[in-house]
Structures are given as C-alpha cells and as structure tokens.
Amino acid sequence: MKAGFIGLGHLGKAMAKRLLSEGVELVVWNRTKEKATDLGVEVAASPVRLTEKSDILFLNLFDSNAVQSVLTGDEGVLEGSCEGKIVIDTSTNHFEAAQCFHELLKGAGAFYLESPVLGSVIPASQGNLTVLVSGEQSAFEAARPYLEKIGKNIFFLGEPALATKMKLANNLVLGTLMATLAEAVAFGEASGIEKERVLDILAAGAGNSAVLTAKREKLLKEDFSAHFSSALIYKDLHYLQDLAWSLRRPLFTGSAAKELYGMVLAKEMDTLDFSAVYRIMKEY
C-alpha cells in the first residue's frame, strides 16, 4: 500500500507514523521540511510532486486556508493531473470550505473525502481515532482500508459538509468540557483541597470522562506541551459560531468557551495544549 501525506503537525505526524507502522508506504510533504526527517520516508518537493507519486492522499492541516493553499496554491495538488485520485482530508475545516473542496476535486476528476477525526495524538498513534466521512460511497470504500489503520470507529455520513458539521458539534463538547474541568479543578484548589485529590474526586464523580482521563496528567503536572493546541480549539469554536449563525440557532456554552480560549490566545499561550485554559481559571 502507498499513500501521500501532507501536514506533519502533532496529529498529522502521529497518523503518518501509525500508517507506516501498519505497512503503508508513504511519501510526505510539509511546509517545514525538518518535521519529516525522523520518518525515514521520501519527502516530495511540493504538493503537486507528491500527488504524482500517489493515488491516495492524506491531508492534516491547521485550517481551511491551509487546505485551500495546498490544493490551489503555487505547486499545489490541483496543478497536476488528479484524475481518479482520492484526497482524504482529516483537517477540521469550515463547513462552507468543505463544500467547496468537494466541488474543486470533483471538477479535477478526483474524489474528496472530508474525513475529520475525533481524538488526538495518543489515540492516533494507537489507531483508535474516530473518523467521520462525507463524500462519494465508492471513494469511501476504496479508502476504507487506509482509514481503518488510523480509526477504530468510522462513521460514513455521505452528504458533503455533514462530517465537518458533526466534528464541530463534537468539539463543542470537547471545548466546553475541558473548560469546565479546568474551572472545577481551580475551584477545588482555591477551597483548600490538594489538586491531585480534586482530580481523583472528579474522576469518581460527575467529571468522569474521556477528556479528564486524557488531560489528567497535564492538569496535575501543568505540562501543557501540545497534543491539541489552544489555537485549534479556538478556531473550531469560531467555525461553530458560523455554523450556528447559518442555522439561525443560538450558541450558548460554545460561545462562552470560545472566549475563554480567546483569553489563552491573548496571553500568547496559543501553541500550548488546550488544557492550558486551566491557567486562565487558576488566575481568577
């Protein structure tokens, strides 16, 4: 099996390593070439050169502007022949951009699988991500063997933009729950309870969740090296606000959480893990 992979940030590299460990031969491209050196694989000179070498192409990029640039920019994917190729985009996009990417790839004779993932670095390295997929059924079936190497749970939603909208709904839960847990820990500490004990009690009570399990050590040790950055959750909640506006629905908890992560960004902690919102809560 061979595939291309573009985007070697924290999550992208974890997925690339997982694919390699499962026997997939990769050719990769990343804007910062040094991020590819430890993979021991071929590094393409540009996205279009990578596209020439693979029929299945993974993307994992920061936002929709980055995806647009990789697809349509100078030496981008669409500068080459894309006939019959399948682009598996695991980025979390703006829902309107996702719709546009489907049309762009279709116009080039290719297939776009909008495939945002639920989970971060550790589940990615274990093949335990949840993958949401929108796109052509035939392309999904062709790509399934690759998706199954990174995802434990795969949900095919079909209609363009549905996978992205569901990913944003999921991150409403992710962002608000992380902020709530951070505030609860800060309250417990302010009340005079040792932080480790606060975490143990939350885990035995209403705070028991995959989020607390994943972020317990980060909260305890205040090691906020990024698995999923504050900048990413802020971006996702901003996209969610746009979705709420398009649906003519209010967004109560998501809007409040977004502004909390906005404070993390204002304090120039945007590259830290999103659990660093605890620092904001602790200050108050």
Q: Could you tell me the CATH number of the domain that includes residue 197? A: 1.10.1040.10
Closest by CA position to 266, among listed 228, 238, 226, 234: 234
Give the total number of structural domains in the chain. Answer: 2
- Residue 37: its pLDDT value, please? 87
Domain termination residue (choose one: 139, 158, 177): 158
Task: Please tell me whether residues 22 and 141 are part of one structural domain.
Answer: yes
Task: Please tell me whether residues 153 and 113 are part of one structural domain.
Answer: yes
Is 284 exposed, middle or buried, given 0-12, 13-18 or 19+ CB atoms closer than 10 A? exposed
Task: Please tell me whether residues 275 and 257 are part of one structural domain.
Answer: yes
Domain termination residue (choose one: 96, 129, 158): 158
CB atoms within 10 A of CB 40: 8
Domain termination residue (choose one: 158, 190, 222): 158
Q: Is the pLDDT confidence value at 174 over 80?
A: yes
Task: Please tell me whether residues 265 and 204 are part of one structural domain.
Answer: yes
Check if the beta carbon of residue 87 is closer than 8 Å to that of residue 102: no
Check if the beta carbon of residue 103 is closer than 8 Å to that of residue 161: no
Q: Could you tell me the CATH number of the domain that includes residue 78? A: 3.40.50.720
User: Residue 7 is encoded by which pair of tokens?
Assistant: 């985007």
Up-side HSE of residue 88: CA atoms within 13 Å toward CB? 27
Instruction: Please name the residues in contact with 249: beta carbons below 8 A apart, sequence gap of 6 or more.
Output: none
Task: Please tell me whether residues 233 and 126 are part of one structural domain.
Answer: no
Q: Is the pLDDT confidence value at 97 over 80?
A: yes
Q: Is the pLDDT confidence value at 284 over 90?
A: no
- Maximum Cα interatomic distance, the chain, rounded to a whole number of Å: 64
Task: Please tell me whether residues 199 and 224 are part of one structural domain.
Answer: yes
Task: Please tell me whether residues 23 and 129 are part of one structural domain.
Answer: yes
- Residue 100: its pLDDT value, please? 96
Task: Please tell me whether residues 23 and 83 are part of one structural domain.
Answer: yes
Task: Please tell me whether residues 224 and 137 are part of one structural domain.
Answer: no
Task: Please tell me whether residues 56 and 138 are part of one structural domain.
Answer: yes
Task: Please tell me whether residues 50 and 143 are part of one structural domain.
Answer: yes
- Considering the entire predicted model, what is its pTM? 0.94
Q: Each residue of 107-146: pLDDT tens digit? A: 999 999 999 999 989 999 999 999 999 999 999 999 999 9
Q: Each residue of 187-235: pLDDT tens digit? A: 999 999 999 999 999 999 999 999 999 999 999 999 999 999 999 999 9
Domain that holds residue 8: 2-158
Residue where the block lists tokens 């095919």: 156
Check if the beta carbon of residue 56 is closer than 8 Å to that of residue 4: yes
Task: Please tell me whether residues 128 and 14 are part of one structural domain.
Answer: yes
C-alpha to C-alpha distance for 93 and 236, rounded to whole angstroms: 8
Q: Which residues pair with 27 in a beta bridge?
A: 4, 42
